[in-house]
């Protein structure tokens, strides 16, 4: 399938171009019999999604650790001219030390059927920015909306806008009221509000300095960004592994 091939090649090109402490490493790629294989580093810490499901919700300092590493990964992608567009818990893996690694650069974000009349999105829409859903053109600020949705999910146990079907979920993302539980700290509430601005120009991170104003937000007042990039912060969850190829942190359906 030509489209799949294009997505796989796009993924390979991005992974070859992007080297970063919080982005999955492409070990090598090869082609055989019309198939393209990408060999990625093995990340034995499993999906952040699994840990979030297990815990239910994260404490704010735990969420702050993961969010800060994700911000640096997204900033790096943006500096390379790449919009990630698919930030969600399933695409965030943890290495054997418990640090974040973004994965899945296939860019299979949109699937167009019926001669472009209906546009359906493959994958999860709960974290997608309104401007992707309305197809009004989008830039790197879509990733900061998704970061807000992800942060909300980490701190409350569910994405900010959900409904019983896709159509109603899209309606909520476009028009629904943002409900912030009272147990969130004022700083967490403020950051989520500023990331989940439907008006792109008002969204934190939409300016030319990208993630800098996000990093200066009071939610991160305890964070030393130099320590973050150098992986000096203590991960809140350290996988207990029997060896390099331990698969215990993954759902058994994948192993």
Enumerate the active-site residues.
Answer: 86
Rounded (10°) CA dihedral 203, 169, 92, 195: 10
Element (H, E) at 4: helix 2-17
Distance of CA 195 to the CA centre of its chain: 14
Q: Could you tell me if 95 and 44 are in contact, meaning their C-beta atoms sit under 8 angstroms apart?
A: yes
State the sign of the Cα–Cα–Cα–Cα dihedral 29, 84, 94, 153: negative
Element (H, E) at 73: helix 60-79
Element (H, E) at 111: strand 111-113
What are residue 211's phi and psi, to 5 degrees? Answer: -80, -5
What are residue 30's phi and psi, to 5 degrees? Answer: -150, 165
């Amino acid at each position: 399938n030509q489209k799949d091939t294009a997505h796989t090649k796009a993924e390979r090109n991005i992974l070859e171009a992007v080297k970063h402490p919080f982005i999955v490493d492409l070990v090598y790629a090869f082609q055989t019999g019309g198939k393209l294989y990408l060999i990625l580093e093995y990340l034995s810490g499993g999906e952040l999604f699994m840990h979030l499901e297990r815990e239910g919700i994260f404490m704010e300092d735990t969420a702050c650790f993961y969010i800060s590493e994700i911000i640096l990964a997204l900033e790096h992608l943006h500096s390379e001219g790449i919009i990630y567009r698919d930030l969600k818990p399933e695409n965030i893996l943890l290495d054997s030390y418990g640090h974040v690694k973004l994965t899945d650069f296939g860019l299979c974000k949109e699937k167009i059927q019926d001669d472009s009349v209906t546009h359906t999105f493959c994958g999860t829409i709960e974290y997608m920015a309104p401007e992707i859903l309305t197809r009004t053109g989008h830039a790197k600020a879509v990733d900061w909306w998704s970061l807000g949705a992800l942060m909300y999910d980490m701190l409350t146990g569910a994405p900010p806008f959900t409904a019983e079907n896709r159509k109603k979920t899209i309606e909520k993302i476009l028009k629904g009221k943002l409900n912030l539980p009272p147990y969130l700290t004022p700083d967490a509430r403020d950051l989520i509000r500023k990331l989940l601005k439907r008006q792109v120009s008002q969204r934190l991170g939409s300016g030319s300095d990208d993630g800098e104003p996000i990093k200066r937000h009071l939610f991160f007042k305890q964070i030393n960004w130099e320590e973050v990039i150098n992986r000096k912060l203590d991960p809140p969850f350290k996988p207990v592994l029997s060896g390099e190829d331990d698969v215990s942190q993954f759902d058994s359906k994948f192993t």
